[in-house]
Amino acid sequence: MNTHASHITQPAASGAGAHAHLDTSAEHAARLDAADPLRPLRDEFEHPFGEDGRPLTYLCGNSLGLMPRAARALVNEELDDWSRLAVEGHLHSRRPWVDFHEHFRHLGARLVGAQPGEVVMMNSLTVNLHLLMVSFWRPEGKRTKILMERGAFPSDTYAVHSHVHARGLDPAKHVIEIGPRSGEALIREEDILDAIREAGDTLALVMIGGVNYATGQAFGIERITAAAHAVGALAGWDLAHWAGNLPARLHDWNVDFACWCSYKYLNAGPGAVAGCFVHERHGNNIALPRFAGWWGNDPKTRFAMGPEFVARAGADGWQLSNPPIMALAPLLASLQLFDRVGMDALHAKSRAVTGYLRALLAEWAPPGCRIVTPDAPGTHGAQLSIAFERDARARHAELGRRGIVCDFREPNIVRLAPAPLYNGYADARAAAAALCGRP
C-alpha cells in the first residue's frame, strides 16, 4: 500500500478514476456537477457569503460543517415545545425529551456500521475519550502501555497523558508514540503493526485517530485492531475525521470503542454533541468499571432514585446526564440526511471530487507545495493537506481573499476538504484555480 506523500507534480491517479486527459475548464466542472445525482443535496444546506455578498467556496467541512436547513426547523420545534409544555415536554413533547437520545440508536449505528445499542450520542469528543479510557485502559501487572500516533490531535495526547498521570505513572514509560520515519511525512502502517507486536504483552491499549487531522492519512482500522487483539490489547479510535467522511464497519471490524465529534463532516453545529461506540461484547458487560451518572442507569430503575448504580446494557450505559435537547436537534437533522443518502454513496462521490481536486493540482502544479495526503484507496477521505515550502500563511490568506474558505494547520499545512454532501466539482476547481493562480 502506498502511504507516501505524493508530490504535487506527480501525475494523479485517484479514486476518481484516471484523469489521463483532464479537462480543466470551468465548463467541464459544471457539467460534472450537473451529472452528479447527489447534487440536489447541496440545497439542503445554508451556504456562507462573503462581505461583498458573493457566495464563498466552502471547503472547510472537515473543521465545521455547514448548517443543514432542516436544523433550524427542528431546533425551533424543540423551543416551541419547551415554551408550550415546560416540564411536561419530558414526556409529552413531539419527541419526548426523556428518550431523545433513542432517536440516534439506529441512525447512529448505520452511520458507523454498528449494531443498534452500540452507539450513543453524548457529551463532546474529549469528554467521551476520557470516559472510555476509564473503562478500557485498566493497566495491570506489566500490561500497562498505550500506543498512539505521534502528531495526534493535542486533546487526544492530553487525555492519554492525563490518564497515565492520574494513575501515578509516567507517560515517557507507558505511552508508545509511533511517528513517520525520518524524512517522511506519513506514518507507515507496518510500523504501527510492528510496534504492536514488539510491545506484546506490555500493551494494554491502542488509541489512534482514524484519519489524522493534519495529514488526512486514514489508517487501516480493521488491521490495526486485529493486531492489537492478537497481543491481548484493546483498540479504541478517535474518529473525529472519519465519521461522516468514510464508511465504517465498527462492529465487524471488532473495534473495542470509538468516539467522534459531530461538528465536522456531520454538520451538527459548533460544539455539537459527540458520538460514542462501545462494541456489544463490552456493552453487555454491565459490570465493567466506568464513571457513572444517572442517565447510564437502567431506565427501569432510574427514577427509583436509589443509591446503587445498575448500568444499562450497551453504549447507553456510559451516559452521565440527561440529553441536551437543543444541541441534539441539529444532529438529528443532519443524521437523517446521512441516513437518506448512505455512507457508501457519499464516499463514492467523495473519492470522485477529491480525486478531481488532486488531478487539477497535479495538472497545474503550483510551485513550492506538495500534497501530503496519501492517494491509495483506503488511505484518505475528503481532505487534501497541502504543505507549502514557504509563506504558507500568506498562501492561505490569499485563498481567503479569493473566496475559498479552508483552514491552516501549523506549521505549513493548508487543508482543503470537499464535503460530498454539499461540495462539488466547481468548488474543487475554484479552490485549485485559486491555489495555482489560474482564472
Ligand X SMILES: Cc1ncc(COP(=O)(O)O)c(C=O)c1O
Under the binding rule (CB under 6 A), the answer on residue 8 touching ligand X is: no
Give the DSSP H/E element, type plus range, for residue 416.
strand 413-416
Closest CA to 130 of 104, 90, 165, 94: 165
Under the binding rule (CB under 6 A), the answer on residue 215 touching ligand X is: no
CB-wise, 206 or 426, nearer to ligand X?
Answer: 206
> Do the beta carbons of residue 317 and residue 290 sit within 8 Å?
yes
Q: Which of 121, 125, 132, 421 binds ligand X (CB under 6 A)?
A: 125
CA dist 262 and 159 (Å) reads 19
CB-wise, 125 or 362, nearer to ligand X?
Answer: 125
Under the binding rule (CB under 6 A), the answer on residue 115 touching ligand X is: no
Under the binding rule (CB under 6 A), the answer on residue 153 touching ligand X is: yes
Q: Which of 185, 221, 240, 392 binds ligand X (CB under 6 A)?
A: 240
Question: What's the farthest any 2 CA atoms get from each other in the chain?
Answer: 70
Residue 119 CA: distances (Å) to CA of 122, 320, 346: 10, 15, 21
Closest CA to 122 of 284, 323, 383: 323
CB-wise, 176 or 207, nearer to ligand X?
Answer: 207
Q: Nearest 10 degrees: CA dihedral of 388, 392, 396, 398? A: -100
Q: What is the DSSP letter of 235?
A: E
Q: Which of 9, 10, 24, 155 binds ligand X (CB under 6 A)?
A: 155
User: Which of 11-19, 44-52, 123-131, 349-357 is the region at the interface with ligand X (rule: CB under 6 A)?
Assistant: 123-131
Cis peptide before 96 (omega within 30 of 0): no
CB-wise, 311 or 406, nearer to ligand X?
Answer: 406
Under the binding rule (CB under 6 A), the answer on residue 238 touching ligand X is: yes
User: To the nearest whole angstrom, how small is the minimum distance from the Cβ of residue 261 to ligand X?
Assistant: 4
Q: Which residues of 275-296 are buried (b: 16+ CB within 10 A; e: fewer)?
A: bbbbbbebbeeeebebebeebb
β partners of residue 388: 369
Nearest 5°: phi and psi at 215? -95, -20
User: To the nearest whole angstrom, how small is the minimum distance from the Cβ of residue 257 to ligand X?
Assistant: 14
C-alpha cell read off for 48: 456562507
User: Which of 165-173, 238-246, 279-287, 399-407 is the region at the interface with ligand X (rule: CB under 6 A)?
Assistant: 238-246
User: Which of 29-37, 153-161, 186-194, 307-315 is the region at the interface with ligand X (rule: CB under 6 A)?
Assistant: 153-161
Enumerate residues 6+ apart whose C-beta is below 8 A from 367: none
Residue 285 CA: distances (Å) to CA of 220, 225, 282, 298, 310: 27, 20, 5, 13, 11
User: To the nearest whole angstrom, how small is the minimum distance from the Cβ of residue 241 to ligand X?
Assistant: 6
Q: Which of residues 266-305 bind ligand X (CB under 6 A)?
A: 274
User: To the nearest whole angstrom, how small is the minimum distance from the Cβ of residue 63 to ligand X?
Assistant: 7
How does DSSP assign 157-193, residue by residue? Answer: HHHHHHHHHHTT--HHHHEEEE-PPTT-SS--HHHHH
CB-wise, 93 or 157, nearer to ligand X?
Answer: 157
User: To the nearest whole angstrom, how small is the minimum distance from the Cβ of residue 235 to ligand X?
Assistant: 16
Chain position carrying cell 502544479: 365
CB-wise, 29 or 315, nearer to ligand X?
Answer: 315
CB-wise, 121 or 261, nearer to ligand X?
Answer: 261
CB-wise, 216 or 418, nearer to ligand X?
Answer: 216
CA dist 355 and 361 (Å) reads 10
User: To the nearest whole angstrom, how small is the minimum distance from the Cβ of residue 149 to ligand X?
Assistant: 10
CA dist 243 and 253 (Å) reads 15
Q: Which of 33, 149, 156, 375 binds ligand X (CB under 6 A)?
A: 156
Q: Which of 65, 108, 209, 275 binds ligand X (CB under 6 A)?
A: 209
Q: Which of 32, 261, 276, 362 binds ligand X (CB under 6 A)?
A: 261
Under the binding rule (CB under 6 A), the answer on residue 126 touching ligand X is: yes
Q: Which residues of 139-148 are buried (b: 16+ CB within 10 A; e: fewer)?
A: beeebbbbbb
Q: Which of 9, 124, 322, 336 binds ligand X (CB under 6 A)?
A: 124
Q: Total residues at the site for ligand X (CB under 6 A)?
A: 13
CB-wise, 155 or 322, nearer to ligand X?
Answer: 155
Under the binding rule (CB under 6 A), the answer on residue 213 touching ligand X is: yes
User: Which of 14-22, 150-158, 244-252, 330-338 is the region at the interface with ligand X (rule: CB under 6 A)?
Assistant: 150-158
* Interface ranges with ligand X (CB under 6 A): 124-126, 153, 155-156, 209, 213, 238, 240-241, 261, 274
